[in-house]
A and B are shown apart, each in its own frame.
Chain A
Amino acid sequence: MRILLDKISHAYDGTQVLQDISLDLGKGEIVSIIGPSGCGKSTLLRMIGGLERPTSGQVLVTGAAPQGCLNPLTYIFQDFALLPWRTVAGNISLVLEDHGIRGARAREVIDDVLARTKLSDFRKAWPRQLSGGMKQRVAIARALAVRPAVMLMDEPLSALDSQTRELLMDDLVELWTRTPFSAAYVTHNLAEAVRLGHRIVVLSRRPGRIREVVTIDMPLADRPAHMAELEKIQRDLWDMMRDEAAAADRELADA
């Protein structure tokens, strides 16, 4: 399944937030989206996920969703969005129930995704008992349970400390290597962007426009061994963004 963004523009109450964004998101491809604060990254992701309508332009889908896919466009949220009144297993079962998957079939799916996210020992735990990293792994497990075609991740690791972030990045790469999924990965963290992105889309400050698309040809699994090259790309990206980010920061301070 492919996602096409066709000349997306959006304004909130007269403030232009996004301008003329055209982009395609191929099968099995991870696209990192970076840009200064307030440039409309989350807004763009909400549009891809069908949670908001752009003022002009459209988001298109081509090709069939993979077999057994329950929710083609699936989110992973920065704040995890777990129901505190459901256990780990209950949170995953939540997204299966509406598809009529209950009982033994649900248990099978839940066991599988918990094993893939290394959470098998925690199926009966309450969210309040879990650390931030484990909560986000539960959210990833929940997303995997509906076999998404495209994962929409809005700063999924921002609420975590840097060591947990490293571990979860490895986990994501491992998951992707085993079964490639496509993803739009919004982040502020350039290291994450170059570690996980096949392409990196750099947005300008508000109104967000595509400034640059950087392609990284190195396979995801090889990247930890080539940190020096990645760091160079990261520095280039930062040079590109520095002035924009500084300007955006002043803009927010004035507002």
Chain B
Amino acid sequence: MRDTKTEIRIPADAKPVPFRGGGFRQRRHPLLAPLVLAALLAIWWAGSATGVISPIAMPAPKDVIDAFRDLWTTGALWTNLSVSLYRLLVGWILGSLLGIAVGLMIGLFSQARASALPIVSALFPVPKIALLPLFIIWFGIGEGSKVATILFGTFFPTVISTYAGVDAVDRGLIRMGQSFGLRWSSIVRKIILPGALPAILSGFRISFSIAIVLLVAAEMIGAQHGIGAYILMAGSLFNLGQLFAGVILLSAIGLFGSWLIGLAERRMLDWRQ
């Protein structure tokens, strides 16, 4: 018997089932962030203009803008930014490359894991800035010691995120590669590395912010130029406008870095959702 027509009579007391599935879901609100930022700036500007915010506690927006104008007209912006970016990028790139290499070794070879992992675990929690005096003795007071601080600071977290990523690669996929007779190098390049890539890239986010922290610390301890030195100078003169300008520069570098990493993630991990 077939009946494709299903007419039903709705009784008078029928009510819709109450909906209770809402909430707990993130939606996009593209306008909210600029609005909040604009509101904060407006409060800051109004507070400074009316004297509610004391100029000793917070610079007025105008002071910060003046500081940026000074930086621009004197060319100090480029001097400070270029040395800082140089130290940051050289240290971070070298530290990341070395970290990926060592992390892969630890992930792939049990001998490397047994010998290197205890050392990595012992050195990871040491604040690298504490080693700066040592690095100054080893690499000189110039660029070497600052780059080395950032390099070491980013090396260890990269090692750890890389080998954790290798460990997390589905063993079934590796076994599949072996069962098809793939070469060892092919398994590493085509199965293990892409499988570890999400973990490596999210490690980059952490190591990049560590690199910025160490950059500023190293430049505050011993440098003539650089954003850290600029902020230290501004602080010792109680020039809050310049201090804020330096902090905004750091934040911009951090945002730019994480934007680049996000771009890399979208490009290289396009196979995910």
- Tell me which residues across on chain B come within 8 A of A175, comparing CB atoms: none
Query: Is B186 touching A97 in the complex (CB atoms < 8 A)?
Result: yes
Q: B190: CB under 8 A from chain A?
A: yes
Most B CB contacts (10 A, CB to CB) among A77, A81, A83, A85 go to: A85
Q: Which of A124-143 contact B (CB under 8 A)?
A: 126, 128, 142
Per-residue CB proximity of B172-204 to A under 8 Å, as 1/0?
110111111111001000110011010000000
**Cβ of A84 and Cβ of B186 under 8 Å apart?**
no
Cβ contacts under 8 Å, B179 to chain A? 49, 51, 71, 73-75, 152
Taking a contact as CB atoms under 8 Å apart, the answer to whether A51 and B175 are in contact is yes
Beyond A81-B175, A83-B173, A83-B194, whether A74 also contacts B271 by CB under 8 A is no
Classify chain A: how many residues form its interface, as a range. 20 to 34
Q: Are B194 and A71 in contact (CB under 8 A)?
A: no
Residue of B nearest to A87 (CB): B271
**Contact flags A59-79 to B (C-beta < 8 A → 1, else 0):** 000000000001101110101
CB-defined contacts of B273 to chain A, threshold 8 Å: 128
**Which of A51, A98, A146 gathers most chain B CB within 10 Å?**
A98
Interface residue? A188 (CB, 8 A): no
Given the interface contacts A83-B190, A83-B194, A85-B194, does A95 sit within 8 Å of B180 by beta carbon?
yes
CB distance from A97 to the nearest CB of B (A): 7
Is there an interface contact between A79 and B172, defined as CB atoms closer than 8 Å? Answer: yes
Q: Is the CB of A75 within 8 A of B183?
A: no
Return the CB mask of B150-184 against A: 1 if under 8 Å, else 0.
00000000000000000000001101111111110
Shortest distance from the beta carbon of B28 to any chain A beta carbon, whole Å: 22
A86 interface hit (Cβ, 8 Å): yes
Residues of chain A within 8 A (CB-CB) of B195 are 85
Closest approach, in angstroms, between the C-beta of A231 and any C-beta of chain B?
28
Chain B interface residue count, Cβ-Cβ cutoff 8 angstroms:
21
Task: Please give me the residue from chain B that is nearest to A70 by CB atom.
Answer: B181
Q: What chain A residues lie within 8 Å of B178 (beta carbons)?
A: 51
Q: Which residue among B172, B182, B197, B271 has the maximum number of chain A CB atoms within 10 Å of its CB?
A: B271
Please pick, from A79, A84, A126, A146, the residue contacting B180 in the complex, using a CB distance under 8 A: A146
> A169 interface residue, CB < 8 Å from B?
no
A83 CB to closest chain B CB, in angstroms?
6
A152 to B269 Cα, complex, angstroms: 32
- Bound form: Cα–Cα A74–B183 in Å: 15
**Measured between C-beta atoms, what is the minimum distance from B102 to chain A in Å?**
24
A94 contacts the other chain (CB 8 A): yes
In the complex the two chains form, is B172's CB within 8 Å of A98's CB? no
Could you tell me the distance in whole angstroms from the C-beta of B171 to the nearest C-beta in chain A? 10
- Nearest-neighbour CB distance to chain B for A226, whole angstroms, equals 30
Which residues of A are at the interface with B, using a C-beta cutoff of 8 A? 49, 51, 70-71, 73-75, 77, 79, 81, 83-86, 94-95, 97-98, 126, 128, 142, 146, 152
Q: Which residues of B contact A (CB under 8 A)?
A: 172-173, 175-183, 186, 190-191, 194-195, 197, 269, 271-273
Question: Beyond A51-B178, A74-B179, A83-B191: 15 further Cβ-contacts under 8 Å?
Answer: A51-B179, A71-B181, A75-B176, A77-B172, A77-B176, A81-B176, A83-B190, A84-B271, A85-B197, A94-B180, A94-B190, A95-B182, A98-B186, A128-B271, A142-B180
4 nearest interchain CB pairs? A81-B176, A75-B179, A85-B271, A95-B180
